[in-house]
Structure 1
């Protein structure tokens, strides 16, 4: 043996620690999991509300279609005007949940309907909805009234406005 040679020592092999497992998850993964669950819950709630709105719109559309069909069969403008007036009152009472507004009459009723939207859709039909309901042969554009009513209701069902905190005036 030479003097410079180092004798081989009986060393054991290096044991590496076990690789980290999949479980338990690191805190970042838990955060990501919680955020994704919150996102999925939010999306599910949005989807459910959209389906409810769509179903409600289909039911209302069906009622409007029945009113329109009755008008086309009878061609009675007076009856259509009465049906639309009652339909709008039911809509405001149950869909918009403004129970006190349905007690309004005449000009106050049409003003209330017009203030629910900026473009005031029932302005051309004020006379028809206030006094025309009680007159025998009142002339108005029936198809335009049906179209306006349908658009008014669809906007409030599918894209409801923010709830107003002020009560209906003059009740």
Structure 2
């Protein structure tokens, strides 16, 4: 019969077990230094300023969106021979109404002919109204509707570009 032996250095025993050390508490990823809070505040402020400027620009350009929608409707009417005359007469009126949204009516309303086309040229780079397809606006405004398809397409492209890109003079 074997007698129980006393635990030696090589014999495992519950008496030789030690407690495992606990892991350190988890580190927070939340910024602790005040510089990070300042940086966060600056980023939030920059995003807020950007959002406000974008909203203001969107609001200020609503007349451009409305004018482009009306130009699309005029372009559809130009494709129908029965509505062509009325659609051509609407083009100069559309341009004048678009200008009235940002220019003083007293200064713009009496302008006709070369003065009107020169004013439009000052709102867009180049001379597309006095020396390009835009000079047809004056003819159309006074009842001339003899526009060929190429002239019509060039005028519509110019007006679309003008509505999108003009800079108030």
Both proteins in one fold, TM over 0.5: yes
TM-score, normalization: structure 2? Answer: 0.64
Judge conservation of contact 2:63–2:98 (CA < 8 Å) in 1. Answer: no
SS of the aligned residue for 1:120 comes to coil
Partner of 1:9 in structure 2? none
Partner of 1:89 in structure 2? 96
Which one has a bigger Cα radius of gyration?
2
- Which of 116, 125, 149 aligns to 2:123? It is 116
Please provide the CA RMSD for this pair.
3.2
Judge conservation of contact 2:78–2:88 (CA < 8 Å) in 1. Answer: no
Residues in 2 aligned to 1:91 and 1:154: alpha-carbon distance in whole angstroms: 11
Residue 81 of structure 1 and its aligned partner are, at CA, apart by: 3.3
Partner of 2:68 in structure 1? 61
Residue 42 of structure 1 and its aligned partner are, at CA, apart by: 1.9
Q: Judging changes above 3 Å, is the alpha-carbon distance between structure 1 residues 115 and 72 closer, same or farther for their aligned structure 2 residues?
A: same
Q: Indicate the larger mover: 42-51 or 138-147.
A: 42-51
Say whether 1:154 aligns with 2:161. no
- Which of 126, 134, 148 aligns to 2:142? It is 134
> How many residues were matched structurally?
138
Residues in 1 aligned to 2:111 and 2:161: alpha-carbon distance in whole angstroms: 22
1:95-138, CA deviations, whole angstroms, 9 ceiling, x for partnerless residues?
Answer: x3343223211111111111211222223245532244324554
Residues in 1 aligned to 2:67 and 2:145: alpha-carbon distance in whole angstroms: 28
Judge conservation of contact 1:107–1:126 (CA < 8 Å) in 2. Answer: no
Residues in 2 aligned to 1:66 and 1:78: alpha-carbon distance in whole angstroms: 14
Residues in 2 aligned to 1:139 and 1:87: alpha-carbon distance in whole angstroms: 18
What are the ranges of 5 or more consecutive residues in structure 2 without an aligned counterpart? 1-27
Partner of 2:87 in structure 1? 80
Q: Judging changes above 3 Å, is the alpha-carbon distance between structure 1 residues 119 and 42 closer, same or farther for their aligned structure 2 residues?
A: same
Partner of 1:16 in structure 2? none
